[in-house]
């Protein structure tokens, strides 16, 4: 039986315990006083880290409930409602840096997304993109189940939906858009990319995540419970190992 979803702001706030944005920040060529956009800021956790490191940061998101929570949690920071897909240099002027964690996958046309970011940056400005690769890839599993999941990813891509394999596509997209790569790596993540059996709170977060995955429900239909149950079983297995990665790429314009 799948869990009832938590409210999204609660969910995103809880997720922060598993993220490693502090490690990511060490790879970002931030200079105190720089103007930075946190695109798709959610509840503002990364915005707060950047502000603490001396950035003049603006968090941007389209979701009212998330923006409300971000403002409650970080009243001293600036958060604005915009569709990242509609931003241009006239919105905030060109900025020194852009952070976007777990946002690129919402843009099926990654080259266009990256080209838009380039237009928002000053010459020499930096962009740091964090994205999942192979969200549902968790062992133990059979080869047939792996192929089944790959079929779902391909279907989602063909629909112009969530980019389940965008992590691996970040660096080529940035390079093709004329950025100079500064850092390519992966981040540890206690919910998405780890070894060993998931703790009870991580399992609960995954159950809740599945309730939000409408595309997956559409694709699998009657098999949705079985497929999500198999992934939950893999996550809880003593021999669990994530194939899912959290990729980070930092580049300069
Ligand atoms: C998976 S969450 C990641 C939130 C946050 N960056 C983090 O790392 O916790 C994706 C965020 O992107 C936002 N988002 C998705 N599409 C967007 C768009 N077109 N414009 C602005 N924000 C968007 C969502 O509202 C959500 O807050």
10: burial class by Cβ within 10 Å (0-12, 13-18, 19+)?
Answer: middle
The answer to whether residue 135 is domain-embedded is: yes
User: What is the chain's percent helix, strand, coil content, to nearest 5?
Assistant: 45, 25, 30
Q: Which domain holds residue 114?
A: 8-252
Ligand 1 close to Cβ of residue 64 (< 6 A): no
pLDDT > 90 in the chain, percent: 97
Q: Is 102 in the pocket of ligand 1 (CB under 6 A)?
A: yes
Q: Is residue 17 part of a domain?
A: yes
Q: Which residue from 5, 86, 103 has its CB within 8 A of the most atoms of ligand 1, so it is best to mutate?
A: 103
Residues 64, 86 contacting (CB under 8 angstroms):
no
112 domain-assigned: yes
Tens digit of pLDDT for each residue in 66-75? 999 999 999 9
Count how many domains the chain has: 1
Domain annotation covers residue 1? no
Ligand 1 contact via 101 beta carbon (within 6 Å): yes
Whether 188 is covered by a domain: the verdict is yes
Hey, is 236 helix, strand or coil?
Answer: helix
Record the pTM. Answer: 0.96
The answer to the question of residue 247 being in a domain is: yes
85 C-beta closer than 6 A to ligand 1: yes
Cβ–ligand 1 contact at 84 (below 6 Å): yes
Q: How far, in Å, is the centroid of ligand 1 from the Cα of 231?
A: 24
Q: Is residue 197 part of a domain?
A: yes
CATH number at residue 47: 3.40.50.150
Cβ atoms within 10 A of the Cβ of 150, count? 15
Counted residue by residue, the chain has a size of 253
List beta partners, residue 81.
61
Is there a domain that residue 3 lies in?
no
In this structure, what token pair is assigned to residue 236?
């809880």
How many angstroms does the Cα of residue 74 sit away from the middle of ligand 1? 17
Question: Does ligand 1 lie within 6 Å of residue 161's CB atom?
Answer: no
Per-residue pLDDT reduced to its tens digit, 118-143? 999 999 999 999 999 999 999 999 99
Per-residue pLDDT of the chain (253 residues; tens, 9 = 90+): 445 568 999 999 999 999 999 999 999 999 999 999 999 999 999 999 999 999 999 999 999 999 999 999 999 999 999 999 999 999 999 999 999 999 999 999 999 999 999 999 999 999 999 999 999 999 999 999 999 999 999 999 999 999 999 999 999 999 999 999 999 999 999 999 999 999 999 999 999 999 999 999 999 999 999 999 999 999 999 999 999 999 999 999 9
């Amino acid at each position: 039986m799948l869990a009832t979803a938590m409210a999204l702001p609660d969910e995103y706030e809880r997720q922060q315990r598993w993220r490693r944005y502090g490690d990511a920040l060490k790879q970002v060529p931030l200079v105190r006083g720089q103007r930075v956009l946190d695109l798709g800021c959610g509840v503002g956790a990364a915005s707060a880290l950047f502000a603490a490191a001396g950035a003049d940061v603006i968090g941007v998101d389209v979701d009212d409930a998330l923006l409300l929570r971000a403002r409650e949690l970080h009243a001293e920071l600036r958060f604005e409602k915009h569709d990242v897909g509609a931003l241009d240099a006239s919105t905030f002027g060109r900025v020194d840096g852009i952070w976007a964690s777990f946002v690129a996958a919402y843009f099926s046309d990654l080259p266009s997304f990256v080209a838009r970011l380039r237009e928002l940056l000053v010459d020499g400005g930096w962009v740091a993109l964090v994205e999942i690769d192979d969200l549902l890839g968790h062992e133990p599993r059979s080869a047939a189940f792996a192929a089944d999941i790959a079929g779902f990813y391909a279907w989602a891509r063909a629909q112009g939906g969530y980019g389940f394999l965008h992590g691996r596509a970040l660096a080529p997209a940035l390079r093709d858009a004329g950025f100079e790569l500064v850092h390519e790596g992966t981040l540890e993540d206690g919910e998405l990319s780890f070894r060993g059996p998931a703790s009870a709170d991580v399992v609960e977060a995954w159950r809740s995540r599945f309730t939000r995955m409408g595309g997956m429900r559409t694709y699998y239909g009657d098999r949705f419970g079985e497929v999500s149950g198999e992934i939950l079983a893999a996550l809880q297995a003593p021999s669990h190992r994530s194939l899912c990665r959290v990729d980070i790429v930092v580049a300069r314009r």
